[in-house]
Structure 1
């Protein structure tokens, strides 16, 4: 077997995974990028080499990575306008975002990503259709910036993509963990387990995008889901899990710490509430920190809540009267980008 095909096989199969987790079987998929010559999205070629860094930043293991996670709410109206606004907000952040986790991405919201010129030019996507959705109305999507990450056979001077896969853990709602590995150039002579499996000296960071089960149903599946995710991170040596944790039962409050994970908000800003849901007072439950970022083997440097704004449409509820044209008054309905706030977090190797 040639070296290229050998690496292609290893890239998908020979990565460290929990040995004692029967509920953590990986279902591998592929990254996608937009092909300008064919004017369509397609799977990347794992054997493709990137000969020039271009505008890509050289990323060493000691450099920070910036992640944004956001549940974009699949059930609210105006999904196209809302998703467009969220994307624009994320892409305007400074420093630039390297990793995006979205949850509750509907088909309409996915179409916004696929047709956004900025996403087409500058991002790899885990999804370009509903093939991995299992018949559900929404899913989670991970995006990686081309400014920070190269193809699997890319330059050794910059971060590269690793495999991407789903783990269908026990769930009442068909929820799953969307996982991927990234490899960061490392001066360390001792590679991580995942790096050693691929024969590369680069450090492996494992990224897990989650939307845990909703509602206070008993027995809760969330303890098992977090346990599986923690095993996935520990088997790689370092990594981050982020997304909608849905901690709605008292037992959920310590699940992150009980599984050996570091809650980024508690680590840096424990004196602040950090609510990401219910802050508008219109929900039947009190405000809560439903969305979280948790790590293993990483140093969290900063974290902040990104509160949603609103888009408008003609309507009757929540009347906001426009008088731009005298005699042509119109009423508008204010629709928040999402019922969740987003989180921005920066981290690096501990």
Structure 2
């Protein structure tokens, strides 16, 4: 079918090539016709996929993601087949250049479609994870790994597509042989230039698949406290509590210590420290803490407690412990408990605030 179409196009092109004006007219007609056929093919694909959407959700995804690649695939394929043959006589170099450019474009479109198909499969796996009845910790770990696989697939397809384009260069084998002749120097230079990038790439993969870091983890990095917002192949984005973004290379998390509050679970235990006089009624403070936690939606009701953790120089240190489902809830809960316990002691039991005692000795 394709060969017959090409033969018909060649026969017609030979007929009109003698007249430059007629030839350029047919070039424009062929190009416009290819665009029109591409629009029709895209519209038919969208219509058929839309009609099948009720049978399965996958057709809805196909209808959303693939009409544009279908349009460009059909259009570029028809351009390559139908446009160059109509060039006027004497423009062989221009004709060959246009055909070669369209060949590269066709390879790029095919690589684009392959990437879209693979990404569709990966995104479907992510949707199934969202719908599965797994705990939040497992869900975040799987979604982080799936996102990393998605970026790897895009990178691999892009490299393979560029490689396929390079293979179309005449004399590529000779060119490659000349490159290998100087591989000693080139490999050293490339290795030094790419050392940091490759290190970050390996570190990003290590973080993702070793379960050391996940999107949504609560971290303490240096003096900052925040949540992992994004993990890429080369860097990690941490959202700080005040909505700033801390962007760090992946190697930072493989070479520098940091605190991951939610590595193995999202539920956390927090503490609040208060100071009071030795005369403090611990049971009264403990009862007030129970009321505060019971009224707080951030408390997950797993555990709580209040003890005297230290006592020096007339000052008793109270340590209140409480649990929450995640780092954000725990931060809010600790602030509430601290605020309300301080207000309770100051207003209801002011005599138990810390005192400074001065002993005055009589003059001899």
Counting strand residues as a fraction of each chain, which structure ranks higher? 1
Shorter-chain-normalised TM-score: which range? under 0.3
Give the TM-score of the pair, scaled to structure 2: 0.19
Give the TM-score of the pair, scaled to structure 1: 0.19
Q: Which has the larger radius of gyration?
A: 2
Higher RCO by CA contacts (8 Å cutoff, separation 6 or greater): 1
